[in-house]
Amino acid sequence: MASSLSAIVISFLFISLTSFPPWVLSVSFQDQFYKCISLNSDAPIPFSAAFFSPTTNASSFNSVLQSTAQNLRFLVPSAAKPLLIFTPLVESHVQAAVICTKEAGVQLRVRSGGHDYEGISYTSGMKSPAPFVLIDLAKLRGVKVDVADNSAWVQAGATIGEVYYRIAQKSKVLGFPAGLCTSLGIGGHITGGAYGPMMRRYGLGADNVVDARIVDATGRVLDRAAMGEDFFWAIRGGGGGSFGILLAWKINLVPVPSTVTVFSVPRTLEQNATTILYKWQKVAADKLDEDLFIRVLISTANSTAVKGKRTVQTTYNALFLGKTERLIQIMDKSFPELGLTPKDCSEMSWIESVIYIAGYPRTTPPEFLLQGKPLFPKTNFKAKSDFIRKPIPEKGLQGLWKIFLEEDSPFMIWNPYGGMMAKIPESAIPFPHRKGVICKIQYLTAWQMEGEKQKHVDWIRGLYDYMGAYASTSPREAYVNYRDLDLGMNNNGGNTSFFRSIVWGKKYFKKNFERLVIVKTKVDPDNFFWHEQSIPVLPFKGNGDGGKTLFH
């Protein structure tokens, strides 16, 4: 296949790495990679069906690159692009991809859903990026539900919505406790933990995984028995892109009532929102029934009291695993400040509640979940996260509102913890944010014009600085699936230092980071699966304690 020599030469002028096999630097990279895949997999594959090159089929390449990517910040012309996009059709293609990228000496990026907040699953945040191939798992999306076993095997490229729909097809009283955003790819979602509206009753999605299939750094496909318990522990909440390429999860299904109840109740500052939110912090985690999940969506709105004035609106968005009558009894006893009435509530099936909680109109048919479409259009955004362990006083909330109203399109989501989340030990899986957490806060800002980035990024960093007085400490915790490259940033646009990685490693994983590094060093000693915040390998060995002194 022909390609532009000048384009290849120009692109490699900006590459800092120099030790590549000759065929990587040739104009026929995609030809050689295709031949390598064909030789190392047991299923033939037409080039046009699964290989997308910026030099031979640019329109298809751009379409696939942009297909699931949600953050426009990483789709700008200046963003680092892959040499090639490969969309495997069978597991052996993934094995071959590992073998062939290693042979080529290029990096590998892996994408299952495209919701990566910092784009590192399909681009590079480095100022001098090395060449890389993108493996997009979107065509590996099978879901096999076994009602008799209360389990399902789900391939990494399936969306959460697809998984929910396939479960509901087989049973009206089984579900799975994972995310609220139905267009998430389940492969990467569970690698970070996978929280959702049933977490207070059943824990995280990662807490309910019983087996997995993964391609390791040597190209082998391993299940739980073959990988061993340390490896299996690490991939359930240890973050994506560090240990291998996740092919499929085996998940435990959980019982759900035939009828559940939902509500969305807005309250503005003029409607006593500050006092209500302060009380919510006191009851949401450890005073409310485990069957009740009430998150708070916070945005701006037009004031009804003063024309032309903006105000803060808090919306209490809930799922209750039961009927309205019992829900009202719980709310009247534990959270009467919200003033919930039966008219605010809607009873429906669990699969209908999935659509409701995701923000779609109630009239949306469940089949819509098979389309994998996100609720909002692509935009530029930046996000951060915090965990709150002590209620933020009303004075602190008032200061937060002042900063919040300075931004054009600010948004926050406060997710309650407690219940089962407080009962599972911090070390059970790498996700450590458990007992004592009141809620997790996600901060977001979005903008349309590319040139506005710095203004909005500066704003959210300022907001994050303000919230430092109220967030968890030692460490200030963060959620790995809300990837934030500000944490432990170096001057090269990413984290390449082991000791810098301890900064974000402790925030994401607390004490579990040490064990993750030890597992990584064992299963991928050459650090083949690398990105800007992948788990690092130990920089040296032989200190007699497995490297633990490096963390203190």
User: Active-site positions?
Assistant: 482
DSSP 129-169: PPPEEEEE-TT---EEEETTTTEEEEETTSBHHHHHHHHHH
- Integer Cα distance of 163 and 179 in angstroms: 11
Give yes or no for a contact between 331 and 341, defined as CB atoms under 8 angstroms apart: no
- Scan for tokens 């925030």, then name that residue: 507
- Integer Cα distance of 50 and 368 in angstroms: 26
**At residue 328, what are phi and psi to the nearest 5 degrees?**
-65, -40
Of 64, 54, 135, give the one whose Cα is nearest residue 98. 135
Question: Is the Cα torsion angle 158, 161, 164, 170 positive or negative in sign?
Answer: negative
Q: H or E element: which one contains 517?
A: helix 512-523
**At residue 444, what are phi and psi to the nearest 5 degrees?**
-140, 145
Question: HEC states along 282-336?
Answer: HHCCCCCCCCEEEEEEEEEEECCCCCCCEEEEEEEEEEECCCHHHHHHHHHHHCH
Quick one: 405 exposed, middle or buried, by C-beta within 10 A (0-12, 13-18, 19+)?
A: middle
Would you state the structure tokens that stand for residue 469, as one six-digit string?
A: 């007085």
Q: Which are the contacts of 190, defined by CB distance < 8 A and separation ≥ 6? A: 178, 205, 206, 209, 236, 237, 246, 249
Question: What are the E-state strand segments in 101-237?
Answer: 107-111, 132-136, 143-146, 151-155, 174-175, 209-215, 221-222
Q: DSSP assignment, residue 426?
A: T
For the chain, first and last CA: distance in Å?
53
Give yes or no for a contact between 261 and 322, defined as CB atoms under 8 angstroms apart: yes
- Integer Cα distance of 138 and 372 in angstroms: 10
Sort strands 132-136 and 107-111 into parallel, antiparallel or unpaired: parallel
- Integer Cα distance of 520 and 526 in angstroms: 10
